[in-house]
Amino acid sequence: MATEKAKIKESKLVDDIKEVTLTSDQYSVTVVPQLGAKITSILNRKTKREFLSRTNVDYRPRVYGDAFENYERDGADECFPTVGGCPYPNYPWQGTDIPDHGELWCLPWQHEITKDKLRTWVRGIRLPYLFERTISFETLARHEKQYIRLSYSVTNESPYDMPFLYAFHPLFKAETKSKLMLPPGADVVTWSSSEDRLGKPMTKHTWPEVTDFTLDKSYDRSVIRSSRTKESEKLFTTPLDQGRCALVYPKDEFIGFLFPAKRFPHLGLWVNEGEWHNLHQVAVEPSTSQVDRLDVAVGLDACGTVPAHGTTEWDLSILIGKGEEELTSVLGEF
């Protein structure tokens, strides 16, 4: 693995809000530190494909604790220490309300531009932690394939263990007949679906088929349908043996992830086919659990923990390419 050269430019986004763009010879990534270090763009410069969804809602400063859907509903955000808002379950912060989608997305982060890298960081409001993320372009030596590397660390600044949920939350542009690729052996369970079509929470389905119980009919959930479908659902995979996945577009361009399955043994799958705010989006979210709420996850013993005065680290690799041969080469068989 070798760090690639990157041109890094800071510019005005709107009002007093700045964005930072990292550009390599193949890709560009744009981050807005003041808006939760949101990633607003992942661009394949060679094909001009923008992978992240962008709505017509203006960017503006967040109000801490506000609802996630009151803002842009696009790009990629970081969810920690929960995904669904809930009271914190463990002493000494028991009962403390943690916002919808966690704290990170609604806080202004600090940032530092170093040689070929962008480091961003923020401290928690209701819990004493330091969350850091560094973005760079790297090369997979065995493939000579450039990829986008997100390196994370979370430091617990207290003398008590800190249970958490984490999910990377990218809202990708959906295209009809795009395909979700999961590693062999992965099945899915329902977390939510419009009108409970796919059953109550934790209803299991054998991937790629899911059952619409209102129609008593199964369909291939790996294939993204038209925005005219007017349906949406959130699913989770069963525990993964391999931390990898991909979204493949109709013209064979793909974006995929490599991540540590032992730390993040599940993928959250959010598919919105025109129901939620009339948007056509799909999210593939490396996650610590099969549930969105930390209080529920703790009860199931299905969460991560940052030890007292300890630090937890991980990497997420974003791979972009085109064609089945390249997909298999860098992400494996699906």
On the question of pLDDT at 135 being above 80, the answer is yes
302 half-sphere exposure, CB direction, 13 A CA radius:
16
Task: Say what the alpha-carbon torsion angle 286, 66, 297, 80 is, to the nearest 10 degrees.
Answer: 50
pLDDT, position 3: 87
What is the tens place of the pLDDT at every residue in 209-225?
A: 999 999 999 999 999 99
61-75, 136-150, 209-223: segment of lowest average pLDDT: 136-150
Q: What is the mean pLDDT of the chain?
A: 97
C-alpha dist (Å) from residue 185 to 24, 178, 203, 288: 36, 21, 17, 18
* pLDDT band, very low/low/confident/very high, at 4 (cuts 50, 70, 90): confident
Bridging pattern class, strands 280-287 and 172-173 = antiparallel
pLDDT of 83: 98
Residue-wise pLDDT for 279-327, tens only, equals 999 999 999 999 999 999 999 999 999 999 999 999 999 999 999 999 9
CATH number at residue 194: 2.70.98.10
Residue range 84-93: mean pLDDT, rounded: 98
pLDDT band per the 50, 70, 90 thresholds, residue 263: very high
Residue 240 zone, left/alpha/beta (φ > 0; ψ -120 to 50; rest):
beta
Percent of the chain residues past pLDDT 70, beyond the cut: 100
> Cβ contacts of residue 72 below 8 Å, gap of 6+?
54, 55, 57, 58, 59
Residue numbers of the domain that contains 308: 2-331
Domain count across the chain = 1
Closest to 101 measured CA to CA, from 75, 56, 66, 131: 66
pLDDT, residue 140, reads 79
Residues 168-191 pLDDT 10s: 999 999 999 999 999 999 999 999
Q: What is the pLDDT of residue 141?
A: 73
Which 3 state secondary structure label does DSSP give 328? helix
C-alpha torsion 171→286→35→52, nearest 10: -30
pTM of the model: 0.97
Closest CA to 261 of 235, 297, 284, 287: 287
In this prediction, residue 89 carries a pLDDT of 98
What is the Cα–Cα distance from 118 to 8, expressed in whole angstroms?
8
How confident is the model at residue 16, as a pLDDT? 92
Q: Sort strands 110-114 and 97-98 into parallel, antiparallel or unpaired.
A: unpaired
